[in-house]
Amino acid sequence: MLLRYITQIGRYCLMMKEIFNKQTKWSVMKNLIFKEIDDLIIGSLGIVAFISFFVGGVVAIQTALNLTNPLIPKYLIGYATRQSIILEFAPTFISVVMAGKMGSFITSSIGTMRVTEQIDALEVMGVNSLNYLVFPKLMALLLYPFLIGIAMFLGILGGYIASVYGGFGSSGEFIDGIQREFIPFHIAYAFIKTFIFALLLATIPSFHGYYMKGGALEVGKASTVSFVWTSVTIILMNYILTQLLLT
């Protein structure tokens, strides 16, 4: 089993190298990139906005309900919401959700092309199929921090609305908590993680779709496996980056 994992890692590294070889013409690549932006980024705006807003509200409510001591200041609701959303929820939790949405879409679309021999047809025509299929996804996911920025804003907004209109604290107290002891590097830390996660979201599902074998049933299995491994890798990288950047 260990040997199989090492083989898969080696094949993944070789795939990463091959993606940047023998570039497809820009006139063709440009249209592919815009299509991937539409499918992966714009297509994910709705689910990201919905989840971020309501989870931000839940974080604020749970924080407020645990502040039972009247001596504890109410601004801690805003402070805890900001820290939770910026440091972990927006970059990490949303990325795990996107591993299911984006990852399954990428794996199934490339896997279907493999099953229907469209990838073989590209190779016969002299096209670098990895560059043609995976490179546009990498370029599209350079805009992934834009999604995470929206998630941060809507998460804090959801916390604000839940706290103020739920009667847990005043608007001034929540805003004071958001501003108190703010460390700008936390934003940089969140976006550094986001760029790494974007790379994983583009390449791991592509790897599982590109190298899958079998028929339609195996496409579904490959989508499940890619979701599991993308999620595991994101969580592992989250731990490593937190150790490197925050300690």
Q: For 152-186, what is each residue's pLDDT tens digit?
A: 999 999 999 998 888 887 888 888 888 888 888 99
Distances (CA, A) of 133 to 9, 16, 209, 225: 20, 12, 11, 20
**pLDDT band with cut points at 50, 70 and 90 for residue 197:** very high
DSSP 73: -
The pLDDT of residue 54 is 93
Strand, helix or coil at 114?
helix
Q: Give percent above pLDDT 70 in the chain.
A: 100
Q: Is the pLDDT of residue 90 over 80?
A: yes
The pLDDT of residue 182 is 86
pLDDT (tens digit per residue) in 22-45: 887 888 888 989 998 998 899 889
The pLDDT of residue 18 is 84
> Is 86 within 8 Å of 177 (Cβ atoms)?
no
Residue with tokens 């791991």: 204
Q: Is the pLDDT of residue 236 over 80?
A: yes
The encoded tokens of residue 21 equal 């070889």
Strand, helix or coil at 180?
coil
Rounded Cα–Cα distance for residues 47 and 45 (Å):
6
**pLDDT band with cut points at 50, 70 and 90 for residue 190:** very high
Rounded to 10 deg, the angle between the 2-19 and 185-210 helix axes is 100
The pLDDT of residue 94 is 92
Q: E strands within 137-176?
A: none
In total, the chain counts a number of residues equal to: 247
pLDDT (tens digit per residue) in 216-228: 788 888 888 899 9
* Domain-wise residue ranges, the chain: 30-246
Q: Is the pLDDT of residue 124 over 80?
A: yes
Q: Is the backbone of residue 148 left (phi > 0), alpha (psi -120 to 50) or beta?
A: alpha
Report which of 73, 77, 86 is spatially closest to residue 163, judged by C-alpha positions.
77
The pLDDT of residue 151 is 93
Average pLDDT, the chain: 88
Kindly tell me the burial class for residue 234, based on how many C-beta atoms sit within 10 Å of its own C-beta (0-12, 13-18, 19 or more): buried
Global pTM reads 0.89
**Mean pLDDT to the nearest integer, 100-115:** 88
**Mean pLDDT to the nearest integer, 8-24:** 84
198 Cβ partners below 8 Å, 6+ apart?
141, 142, 144, 145
Q: Is the pLDDT of residue 199 over 80?
A: yes
